[in-house]
């Protein structure tokens, strides 16, 4: 019973190769020999102890594996950023690019919902204030007479809420936006230019570095 039970367990948990190794190590010790032989029983006992030792090693490895991964999962799940973005159809490409990075890294995140251009619902304010990190995607909107572009005002409003709540911020900023002054997040700005592969690649690398700095990866 001990022999076949152990062999079946090794096969189920690990592989047939492990079971065969066990089989070859002890089978000759007792198969075909009278059970009354003290030497045989002693040999079998030693083999069983060896098997138990092997299982304890496997158990330790499995425990270490799961404890580490469970700890990592718990750490990631406690950091949930809020992603602020434009809802204009023309901006969906960059929005999806940024959020796809978060999804690929299995990072949960909150977003706002469509709302009027002049107001921010309380539920959005609440999500921003309860978030662990604020990620904003600033996109170009209206061209300025002196050169450059504005960005949607509600993106500024949501960033101001995050600033008032003293949230850490990562901001994707499209090149040539000129109305970012006074927000005091220059060190967290990630500049990008749509259609420029090199710019997007550099922005992506900086974004990953920022996520790592904020312990999301």
Q: Is there a single domain that holds both residue 49 and residue 123?
A: no
Domain containing residue 183 = 79-213
Those residues whose C-beta lies under 8 Å from the C-beta of residue 58, and which sit 6 or more positions away, are 13, 14
Same domain, 40 and 101: no
pLDDT digits (tens, 9 = 90+) for 150-190: 999 889 889 889 989 999 999 999 999 987 655 555 556 89
Please enumerate in sequence order all residues whose Cβ is within 8 A of that of 112, keeping only pairs 6 or more positions apart, or say none. Answer: 82, 84, 120, 121, 124, 127, 158
Taking the C-alpha atoms of residue 49 and residue 55, their distance in angstroms, rounded to an integer, is 10
Q: How far is CA 183 from CA 64, 168, 179, 197, in A?
A: 45, 12, 10, 28
Q: Last residue of a domain, which of 75, 91, 109?
A: 75
Q: Please tell me the predicted confidence (pLDDT) of residue 185.
A: 56
Together in a domain, 40 and 110: no
Interatomic CA distance for residues 87 and 67, integer angstroms:
41
| Number of domains into which the chain is organized | 2
Tens digits of residue pLDDT in 25-48: 666 555 555 555 566 666 666 666
Q: What is the rounded CA–CA span in Å between residue 167 and residue 12?
A: 50
């Amino acid at each position: 019973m001990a022999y076949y039970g152990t062999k079946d367990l090794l096969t189920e948990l690990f592989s047939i190769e492990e079971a065969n190794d066990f089989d070859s190590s002890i089978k000759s010790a007792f198969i075909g020999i009278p059970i009354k032989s003290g030497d045989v029983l002693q040999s079998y006992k030693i083999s069983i102890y060896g098997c138990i030792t092997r299982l304890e090693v496997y158990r330790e490895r499995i425990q270490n594996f799961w404890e580490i991964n469970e700890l990592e999962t718990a750490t990631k799940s406690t950091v949930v950023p809020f992603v602020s973005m434009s809802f204009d159809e023309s901006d969906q490409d960059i929005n999806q690019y940024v959020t796809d990075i978060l999804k690929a890294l299995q990072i949960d995140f909150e977003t706002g919902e469509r709302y009027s251009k002049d107001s921010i619902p309380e539920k959005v304010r609440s999500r921003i204030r309860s978030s662990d990190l604020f990620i904003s995607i600033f996109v170009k909107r209206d061209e300025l007479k002196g050169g450059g572009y504005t960005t949607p005002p509600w993106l500024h409003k949501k960033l101001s809420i995050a600033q008032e709540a003293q949230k850490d911020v990562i901001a994707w900023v499209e090149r040539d936006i000129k109305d970012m002054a006074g927000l005091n997040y220059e060190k967290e700005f990630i500049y990008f230019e749509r259609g420029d592969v090199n710019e997007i690649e550099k922005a992506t690398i900086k974004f990953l570095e920022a996520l790592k700095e904020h312990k999301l990866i």
